[in-house]
Structure 1
Amino acid sequence: MKFTELPISEQVLQGVTAAGFSECTEVQAKVLPVSLTGKDVMVQSKTGSGKTAIYVLTILEAVVKAKKEGKTIPKALIIAPTRELAVQIEEDTILLSSGIKDLVIGCFYGGVGYAKQDEILEKGCDIFVATPGRILDYQKMHKIDFRQFDIFIVDEADRLFDMGFYPDIQRMFSLLRPLTERQTMLFSATLGTKVRNLAWSFMNEPVEIEVEPEEITVKLITQELYHISKAEKFRLFLYLLKQYNPETCLIFANTKARCIEVAKRLSLNGYPAKYLMGDMVQSQRLQTIDRMKEGKLDFLVATDVAARGLQIDDLEMVVNYDLPDDYESYVHRIGRTARAGKSGKSISLADEEYVFNLEAIENYIQMKIPVIWPDMEEVEKVEDKSASKSFRDLVRRDEYAGSSGRGRPSRGGARPAGRRPAGGGRPKGRPAAGGSRPRPQPKAAGQPRPSQQPRRDRRDQTPPPRRRDSKSYAQIQALSLDERLAYYKDQYLKESGTAAAARPAQQQTNQGPRQPVKQPAKQGPKQPAKKQTKKPAEAARPQEAKKKEGFFSRLLKRGK
């Protein structure tokens, strides 16, 4: 179906032509004939199928019709889950409304100041595109009255609910006019229980339209899976970039720390890259996204904050540097490269840490991802110019502050030189004892703390040799899938779980039972070794008495 076959005015068709649209997508052909009549709709459709044009054209047609009849222009509110998607919707709305004059479109989201958004409200806004938090803030400040909205759209409803906005959406519905006095459109990749509950409770006999479930998207994408160890992972990634040479590439990592590290390693190897995370300054996030859309940035490393709603035209490749923990995120990620029916390519790297997510992903997409075994001799020939750089050489802690989960390096107990923790290490309101409390003896000059010594020498050390019990890539390739999973599990436990579990046990073995007689022996010269022959209770009482006597004697002397 062509857009010219729809009951759309000439002014709206001008915007459709400006956007380069001529043929309707499947979801547009099914929904627009219904929504243009003013009926409520509940639509299930995959990401990138052209849903935005459906509700924008419906709003614009209602505006044109009201102007012709001399009525008040209807006001519309569009709710999106993320700031990036809200900005994208605003841009699409401005483009599609290019044939309509004197129409004010505003975008309202958090992470930025209120001043510019206040100016839009003072000017008089007709179409509001907003995230839940900021629009409810304005409602609480009594700057926006929800009863003014004639059309209400909830986009990516399932994503909004996953992010915890279900109570906020319910509150918005309760603030609107009665359901018979407005048009409501709800779009979601899946029509789950929460979505249907909203429709039954707050919508006026909505027409339910289902197109293709989102998992069907993967059929248009060439998928490849590589089993690789963490130590060889980045070198294999460089080999694949050299082999495929993509013009644009979106790389996903599971943690903010890993996201920054991969971006910086790519830049050092001649692939200028930027990273995109949830807690970046909003202006930086928008600037990075705009550069990617304008073709000024070829490589973007992102966390799942960019997996939904980030629309980049002609994105050639998506790389799952880490397999996602959430199997649905796999579809959202690779769906960035198959927009509007186009084909694309995705590459997934499965290491011993995230390979356990593979089974759930393959069950969800109902297919086995083809496994590719590269020529490791050729992979080893690839030069990694960042190989000599450690994580701490590349990434400052303040760049990923607040990140959690795997991929976040530990502090190792060391503090930067010349800095003290907040409050000076002493709670506020508690002054020092004025010398009355004995302090631990300082270490000898030139003797570093145990936690600092390896950190200082780490940069000069060469990478450790492969463990005796680890297998080569050729040996891993010869294993069956079950054997590989068992091997990966064993390696991961040795690197993380077993080592972590053995450490407390070793400390407990060294320290022995918690008895006053053994603890001083570990602390060195503070307690003579010959006192260890006494019984614990007998050894403790004289020491405590002597300590208290010294304390009170010093206190009395100080009083004199």
Structure 2
Amino acid sequence: MKFTELPLSEQVLKGIEAAGFTDCTEVQEKVLPVSLSHRDVMAQSKTGSGKTAVYVLTILQSFVEAQQKGKSKPKALIVAPTRELAVQIEEDTLKLASAMDDVTVGCFFGGVGYGKQDEILEKGCDIFVCTPGRILDYQKMHKIDFRQFDIFVVDEADRLFDMGFYPDIQKMFSLLRGCTERQTMLFSATLGTKVRNLAWSFMNEPVELEVQPEEITVKAITQELFHVSKSEKFGLFLKLMKKEDPENCLIFTNTKARCIEVSKRLSLNGYPTKYLMGDMPQTKRLQTLDRMKEGKIKFLVATDVAARGLQIDDLQLVVNYDIPDDFESYVHRIGRTARAGKSGKSITLADEEYVFNLEPIENYIQMKIPVIWPEEGDLPQVEDASASYSFRDLVSNDEYASSPARSKGGLRPRGRKGPLPRAKREERPRMGRKTDESNETRNRRPRVEQARPAETRRRRPGSKSYAEIQNLSLEERLAYYKQQYQNEGGQVSPPQTSLVPRTPVKKAAAAPVAKEQDQAKKPEQKLGFFARLFRRKK
């Protein structure tokens, strides 16, 4: 189907032409006729199928129709799981709306300051592209009213729920107007229980469309699997890189520390490489992505933060340096190389640490990944220039180095703040101690000398040590405690069987009587406590 066959205005068609689109993809062909009729849609579609254009064109067409009818322009809210995907949606929206001068698009996400985003709100915005956290922050500050939105889009719903945003999406739905007063479009790679619950609870009889499930897309990608030990993993990776000689390559790792290590080792071996992970500032992440899209960065090592929403034209190779823990992440990772119907290749390295994640992946994609057993001579010989560097040497000196003292195995930027080096801590004088001895003498002095031996401590006359008391019988202990109590000035009296009747006497005369009664009760209470204690031990 051509875009010209759809009920789209000339302004929208000009934007489609400027973006370089002519034919509809399968998801666009099935969903656009429904969404353009202002009905709610719940669609399952694969990665890179062109679903972003579906809801953007629907929003732009609603703007044109409102203008033709003389009504105010509707407002749209698009929610994405990651900052990178939100920025990508904003760029695609600006391309498709290039022929419409009066359309403003704003992107709202965390990790950056509020200044520029506040300016966008003050000037006015028609299409809000956001991540859940930042848009809800603005709602709590009463800078955004969710009742103003006429179109609500949830993109990559399954990814949002995996990241723990299910309660946030529910809250957004509750803040919107009624389901009959707005249009809702929900897109997800899988239509699970949570997605359907949202549709049944907050959408107006949505049309459910399934367009080529996610697992089928991997069949168009050339996949290879290599079994290798962890110690020989990077050496095999270098040989494969020399054999494939890709123009650009995206390498995925499971951890941030491994991401830095692989990037540094590749750079030492002549592959200019950058890395991308969640702990990087948002501005630096966006700069890295832009340079990768422009072709200035050919090799990028990333965690799963780049598994979705990263659109790189003509990406030649994707390498799973680590097999992902989540089987769906495998599909999204290798899906970066086959965008918009193009072909690509993926290489997966299976070591003893992550090989157990292989079976769930193959069950999910409903196929066995072809295993390659290279024979001698099939791969070129490569000398690893980073072999002399340890993991600590490569990672600890990086800008985002591991610091167990500040976080549990996480990564943080290394700055001037923090604990002083050990040498400087020893040179710095201790505060609050007035003494002439040097730090060296004080540090060498054993602390045991400060403790006084037990035999030299002062002991009350007639008292026994703890070891001596343990060797006494119950009767001897009671007699010992009685003697100690009498030595303190106490008097032992027989137990009181009844209460002493109170007589109306003056306060001055009653005080000595009460004092004598209290002194008489004390021995009974103390002896009763120890008697009960020793009886329980027996």
TM-score range with shorter-chain normalisation? 0.7 to 0.9
Distance 1:143 1:420, change over 3 A: farther
Which residue is 2:359 aligned to? 359
CA displacement at 1:398 relative to structure 2: 5.7
Which residue is 1:399 aligned to? 400
Provide the identity percentage. Answer: 73
What SS does structure 1 have at the residue aligned with 2:107?
strand
Structure-to-structure mapping, 1:501-520, within 5 angstroms: none
Q: What is the root-mean-square deviation of aligned Cα atoms in Å?
A: 3.0
Counterparts of 1:101 and 1:203 in 2: how far apart (Å)? 32
Contact 2:276 2:302 in 1 (8 A): yes
What SS does structure 2 have at the residue aligned with 1:86?
helix
CA displacement at 1:544 relative to structure 2: 3.8
Contact 1:256 1:400 in 2 (8 A): no
Which residue is 1:475 aligned to? none
Match of 1:418 among 393, 415, 423: 423
Which residue is 1:33 aligned to? 33
What SS does structure 2 have at the residue aligned with 1:286?
helix
Which residue is 2:92 aligned to? 92
Contact 2:243 2:379 in 1 (8 A): no
Q: TM-score w.r.t. structure 2 length?
A: 0.77
Which residue is 2:50 aligned to? 50
Is 2:173 aligned against 1:168?
no
Structure-to-structure mapping, 1:175-186, within 5 angstroms: 175-186=175-186
Counterparts of 1:348 and 1:178 in 2: how far apart (Å)? 47
Deviations 1:254-276 (A, max 9, x none): 11000001011111111111000
Q: Which has the larger radius of gyration?
A: 2
Distance 1:371 1:420, change over 3 A: farther
What SS does structure 2 have at the residue aligned with 1:381?
coil
Aligned length: 446
Amino acid at match of 1:7: P
Contact 2:402 2:410 in 1 (8 A): no
Which residue is 2:126 aligned to? 126
Deviations 1:134-181 (A, max 9, x none): 001111111111111000000000000110111110111111111111
What SS does structure 2 have at the residue aligned with 1:226?
strand
Where structure 2 has 5 or more consecutive residues not aligned to the other structure, the ranges are: 412-418, 460-538
Counterparts of 1:220 and 1:406 in 2: how far apart (Å)? 38
Counterparts of 2:180 and 2:110 in 1: how far apart (Å)? 31
Which residue is 1:271 aligned to? 271
What SS does structure 2 have at the residue aligned with 1:346?
strand
CA displacement at 1:392 relative to structure 2: 2.1
Which residue is 1:222 aligned to? 222
Deviations 1:191-216 (A, max 9, x none): 11110111011101100001111111
Amino acid at match of 1:171: K
Counterparts of 1:258 and 1:132 in 2: how far apart (Å)? 29
Distance 1:194 1:402, change over 3 A: farther
Distance 1:433 1:224, change over 3 A: farther
Contact 1:258 1:407 in 2 (8 A): no
Contact 2:86 2:131 in 1 (8 A): yes
What SS does structure 2 have at the residue aligned with 1:274?
strand
Amino acid at match of 1:346: S
What SS does structure 1 have at the residue aligned with 2:280?
coil
Amino acid at match of 2:130: A
What SS does structure 1 have at the residue aligned with 2:77?
strand
Where structure 1 has 5 or more consecutive residues not aligned to the other structure, the ranges are: 409-413, 445-522, 528-540, 550-560
Amino acid at match of 1:312: I
CA displacement at 1:294 relative to structure 2: 0.7
Counterparts of 1:128 and 1:353 in 2: how far apart (Å)? 42
Amino acid at match of 2:183: Q
Contact 2:77 2:151 in 1 (8 A): yes
CA displacement at 1:133 relative to structure 2: 0.5
Deviations 1:462-484 (A, max 9, x none): xxxxxxxxxxxxxxxxxxxxxxx
Contact 1:255 1:406 in 2 (8 A): no
Distance 1:81 1:441, change over 3 A: same
Which residue is 1:311 aligned to? 311
Q: TM-score w.r.t. structure 1 length?
A: 0.74
What SS does structure 1 have at the residue aligned with 2:288?
helix
Which residue is 1:103 aligned to? 103
Counterparts of 1:289 and 1:35 in 2: how far apart (Å)? 31
Amino acid at match of 1:128: F
Which residue is 2:77 aligned to? 77
